[in-house]
Structure 1
């Protein structure tokens, strides 16, 4: 697929996935359309998870898809592409209806590590799930409801000298003028189609409403919310849609809560992936010994966005390793195991990209600028599976709006397809 067509599809995927719950639902919807069967964790999988089967499981804001070769046995190894569905931003607090001085506002809490300044003066929506008193979940998105206003430069002449917003005072978005019966939860309930008193809980995050788009003199740049890490989730979906696995069971595992440490039942530190792999091996007739054999022969490619060299601040990057936008996906390396790539993983990625016809670049941090981490070390520790880290090079990571070259996301998808098919 050419870059323009791929980027248009990525834009559609991002637009359909304002938060982790919508992203998991969109992954499942696309894969069901491609022939996967959605299964429930409470069901017996024995008659569904068989050689040749394609299945998808949703756990809250996470999703796992599995494609099994026709000749699979209980000891067939796995190829896992790991990613995450969440992004930094703000989450709606309990009792969120606040405000004063003529404006209705919403109480929000910072989620993860967003670039706070990037969220000001743009139209935002709330998206996620509402759970009613009967335990029924409703996916909701509000459209353009919210705006976090800057203080005017006339009221703070030092604003450009060092902007550091107070997280409690300065980040509460404006939702409109105060009315006599304003109720944020009630307005969300109306969108969900339930009565306000039926709302028992909610998980709602802020999302930028500006659509993704290409731009630049040659149209070779792409700006979008949530490229970290929907660029990887989408690459995995596109790979799984067309996959013909041979010699390994292909798995796309898109976890929630990576931006806050992954420690949840739907995060990479939780049991989700281990549960699925154990149940797949069991459905194929295996036990603990067969699962251990399968894991020993398996690989996980942890796919999470990385950094291109910033043109205005090149000194923040390693002087010898200089990945650029448009140079292909990154192989991410860190001596302290913040990324899991070792020599064996580097060799496998080299073969994968060679087979896919995709260039790739090595990323390592400047020693004075420590890197973040990914689901890679967590997955390797949790499962004992060989793991390496890759990702699309971005500018403005953790901004409300991030930036990449139009060629790089599709190249990651091409490489993901070769990796998952064990075709290198």
Structure 2
């Protein structure tokens, strides 16, 4: 079935500079997660599980990889109204500018959106990690007669300083808003939350950047070309003018805003019971089906790790790491606390032998390496006897083949790291 009342609009994000170099050649929603998915798979999967199967993805920066992934992944029946379509920023005779912000992106796409019947617009971010039943949020929106609904997450005082904080009345409608308040300004901004959240000292409601708008109101609001962003302008300006409801979500949610957050989100998937569960039958993450062989391993001790399909692993040890598709790891190598994104293709045996003879690193990680606290981006070539020890002892730096952010070493996509290279 398809929920004909709702049209989903997934925002492809801006330049994603804080996630550089992972966004050097791809948009944030196209960044790999868990070794086999893309970030955009998260909101799309949430929508599909809620029978919201009409989706537009609005893109602008480095969108080729994202476009290719969506085209190859989300193919519905020809006899169905379901679709996931890309709306790339475009210049028209009436508009010569690119998207200026989140609201401006929806405004510029409105002509295409209005070609479809809908009563409610569900506006989502393409770079967050969470699972949510949007139908529950929609039911509450309709039941309480809201004009706008905002998904909110109860957070602790220290976390509240990093978000826009919403104050609600007894009926969960939002009465006021403050952007990233300092700790001394937080008293009085508590909202009514569940007992479980109170016991965890999570009494401040942070906006998650997930919105439901009534169709006509969205059209009316976006008729003002001076408002270009939902979070900074439209939402604060709507409070007190329209019925703006806070929908409380108490599950796992993280905004993949920078390299450390991205690193932690992936590594935490290796926990015994991770907060973001990839193994749920009813809310699985959907992605592109690949025809890959099973992963092959020899002589490897594995602790709390995830290994995607199509890998060839001869490592000595892999611990608390995520190993992506088509990864190759050589003998006597130790991988710890590392996200290895994998490769787009395999190298033939003849090429591997030629590279070894010439002393040229092949795709993947070579022999007798030690790698810790590292992200290895796609198609990187790491030679033999390489030692990379990430951690807080390292200063932030940027080189042609790698960067360091808050102790996390990121080996850039397609970089070649020579034999004997060290970061420690």
Report the TM-score, using the length of structure 2 for normalisation.
0.28
* Structure number with higher relative contact order (C-alpha < 8 Å, ≥ 6 residues apart): 1
Larger radius of gyration: 2
